[in-house]
Structure 1
């Protein structure tokens, strides 16, 4: 009797990828048993919440292939895109219960819990795996990430050092060690670990990109921007022809009559930071078009000298060269304008400032804009984990409620804005954000404030680019953009940084914030546009 036709298995797999688990199961249950059929059927059972059936089949195939990747890995790739997290976790727990001596089961469950931010549970699962094999490469690296997420940098460092002793040729471990040391702000040691990782895998674009970020955080800007160009070799990064990429320009570059397309890249904060370089290209005579999210269009058009601003929905205009936003510092490194335009290089609309003025508190109090959370992005585990570290629960700002002479204005959007439903006792927070449409409206609100207090979000970049006083409340393992060991910023002269002394601890940060506000201890505004405040 012949096996199941390939087209039947292909159909079942397509149904699984589309999330049609019951339909796939009905097809596979009629197929002749085989390892391939059993694995696909296990995935279908998992998507139908038939936990024990899925676990039984997965474990049977895992036993048959002990040196291969566990088949439950593929199950995760099918369930998680359809937000079937609970089903995936239930199956992984059942698989682990059936095969506790298989260290792969601890790795999979621990990694899933880690991605969901449940670090204490992940640590318990991974510890059981390490008890089976203390120098296990994958388990040790996952545990180190788990420890770092909880601010246990010394313990994570000791564990990775132990893993390196047993796996000296593991570029992954050296890279994780470099990342840990960078987050721990031990940058010389981090760069040394990056060098060891790159000696093992010199053409790994992701390792080169992480090395670039360490260079940038240490203040080695020219080296960092040059190394950061490796990111364009990563899958999906380079979408336009390489031969038309804007080259590194000479000091006497003449761009008159040449058209340059700047393409969208990174988050809003990245683009707001990089817009300082656009006037440099315009000053060289270039005809500049910019691809950017709609929310930035008004701000960009007001910069002047820009031929066109458009979104990703529009086809690309004709151009001589293209350049992604985050390559601008590199291509301009040899020109007189390598530092970009002076602050302020972004300006609020005078008309919008007048329209938004009634939404702000009146009187002579210090008007303080407040942003306490970022974009959570739960679909991207690394970004979601970073957001948990950078965001501050609104309740932590309770000491501001008792400060005289201060009016608080919310500049918060997204899920964190819901925390205003349970504000600290005595706090009054003006909230105009429900009517805000884009960053142009936000800029108009900022123009009517005395200072913006923000965690590491695009609003901090916007206020800094406008020359508004900014107090950045920064996490311990801070982003490269804010360098290391500094309370000021070379990007924004009016920005001051209050950084965590201990990972995850915000009380001291809030205490220092209150002191700074009460003393009015922040830089004066650098504006050349009318504030139209009162």
Structure 2
């Protein structure tokens, strides 16, 4: 057991890390780590701070430094593997956690970490084999059962995945994360009605709506009277979700609802033009409402109606003046006009989102074969850190027009898209923006995609003019780009 002095030392180590006094933090942690080797390592408390401050490389340096004095400390090996996985050094992460498992072959957190690393690498069969062995050992453990279900879902083996989820839920019926993962499997398999109902379990997790459940918009039935009722729609997760589900707003208005959107500033102007929107608020206090509904709950509300997918595209419109401005800038371009997005928002302070973005994004260099086309002009729709890749001097990049400094909001991006013939993008909000505008879209998608793109289709029930080109191997984009290039050769000016 640690004494009060040891507990104080742990707090001091954390303060030293915040101050960048790394030598002192290491010196204090080395003897402290020996007091109780079954307790969490003193540096384990720094993991969340390193992630929240995006200081992973500094943290890794600290782990390596203290590891010189305790090379076989499995606690340090696991922490190191976690960071290596998050920054995409998957081979190193795997070898590191396997070293820990040599010393502790049955240590469940290390086993689950290895499974997570293999899953991130797209090595689903290897992850499945480990989880099946764990399942035989722990047949009644809901976490093990649910983890195996996740791997089966990743391999599109939905019958077994859903059966496993039923087993897990029988053991842990109120486990919100298991229920949410179950919903994703249902939706990915195309079982929308049940999937949307199950998806409400996300609201029991942190970071979703804090508004009271009793005033949530119920499922819409012929008996539900929305006439003159104030319905508040709220931003919940990414911009893509909002863009995707704005399609339900006109239908709420048809039922007499007075719709207020409490959302993101970058979408505000565009949302104001959606048919049926009475008011858009950005920030501030909670607007008045009779019913509230996060955007992601709208499909659940409409699931039993005659319009479960909302109104047809296009349900978004562009600012005429902005559209005309872009048209003037592009008036001399007689080639096929192609918008491109090659990376999503990295969100490094959110580990799950950070690692997902590594799987869905590609380096700009992967698109170089596209840029060799002499029949197209490419317009960058990219925002964020990935725009810096355009500064690399490659001959192919000279065919990419970069006006991203003028794309201050999604409304600006929409007006530019309106002047293009086709948009080519990885799985980002721009796919939803272009699709909602009724624009031709080619989605370059990853292995084990988001549920909304289903699993065995090259088209989408959400956006009729969208074509999905999916990886045949995890992390490999070359064949995707080749297939996109072939599609592009068939495109014509609109």
Separation (CA, whole Å) in 1 of partners of 2:413 and 2:382 = 10
Tell me the C-alpha RMSD between the 2 structures: 2.3
- 1:128-139 matches, cutoff 5 A: 128-139=99-110
Unpaired runs of at least 5, structure 2: none
Describe how 1:120-199 pairs up with structure 2 within 5 A: 120-199=91-170
Q: 1:514 to 1:67 in 2, by over 3 A?
A: same
- 1:381 pairs with 2:357: no
2:439 alignment partner, one of 463, 468, 474: 468
**Is the Cα contact below 8 Å between 1:184 and 1:477 reproduced in 2?**
yes
Q: Deviations over 1:347-384 (max 9, x none)?
A: 11222211111233634321111111111111111111
Conserved in 2, the CA contact under 8 Å of 1:255 and 1:285?
Answer: yes
- Structure 2 partner of 1:510: 481
Of 264, 267, 273, 1:302 maps to 273
Q: Check if 1:336 corresponds to 2:306.
A: yes
Larger Rg, first or second structure (1 or 2): 1
| Alpha carbons 1:489, 1:496 under 8 Å: kept | yes
Which has the larger displacement, 350-359 or 245-254?
245-254
Query: Does 1:288 find its partner at 2:259?
Result: yes
Which residue pairs with 1:114 in the alignment? 85
**Residues 63-98 of structure 1, C-alpha deviations (whole Å, 9 max, x = no match):** 443443333322323454344434432332344444
Deviation (angstroms), 1:33: 7.3
Q: What's 1:407 paired with?
A: 377
Give the secondary-structure state (helix, strand or coil) at the position aligned to 2:203: helix
Structure-1 separation of matches of 2:198 and 2:138: 27
In structure 1, runs of 5+ residues without a counterpart are: 1-31, 526-534
Distance change in 2, residues 1:155/1:220 (3 Å): same
SS at match of 2:233: strand
Query: Contact 1:137–1:167 at 8 Å: present in 2 too?
Result: no
Calculate the TM-score normalised by the size of structure 1.
0.86
Deviation at 1:394, TM superposition (A): 1.3
> Cα–Cα, structure 1 residues 345 and 455, in superposed 2: closer, same or farther, change >3 Å?
same
Change over 3 Å in CA distance of 1:363–1:55 after alignment to 2: closer
**Distance between the aligned counterparts of 2:403 and 2:43, measured in 1?**
48
Structure 1 residue 276: Cα displacement: 0.6
* Superposed displacement of residue 226, structure 1: 0.2
**Structure 1 residues 301, 383: CA separation in 2 closer, same or farther (over 3 Å shift)?**
same
Measured against aligned partners, the alpha-carbon deviations of 1:104-148 in whole angstroms (never above 9, x if no partner) come to: 222122112212222222112111011123332111111111112
User: Are 1:90 and 2:66 counterparts?
Assistant: no
User: Which 10-residue stretch deviates more, 363-372 or 448-457?
Assistant: 363-372
Comparing 85-94 with 491-500, greater Cα deviation is found at: 85-94
Cα deviation for residue 57 of structure 1 reads 4.5
By how many angstroms is 1:190 displaced? 2.5
- Match for residue 425 of structure 1 among 395, 407, 416: 395
What residue is the counterpart of 2:315 in the other structure? Answer: 345
Question: Alignment partner for residue 355 of structure 1, among 309, 325, 328?
Answer: 325
Structure-2 change in CA distance of 1:405 and 1:279 (3 Å): same
Q: Count residues with an aligned counterpart.
A: 491
SS at match of 1:139: helix
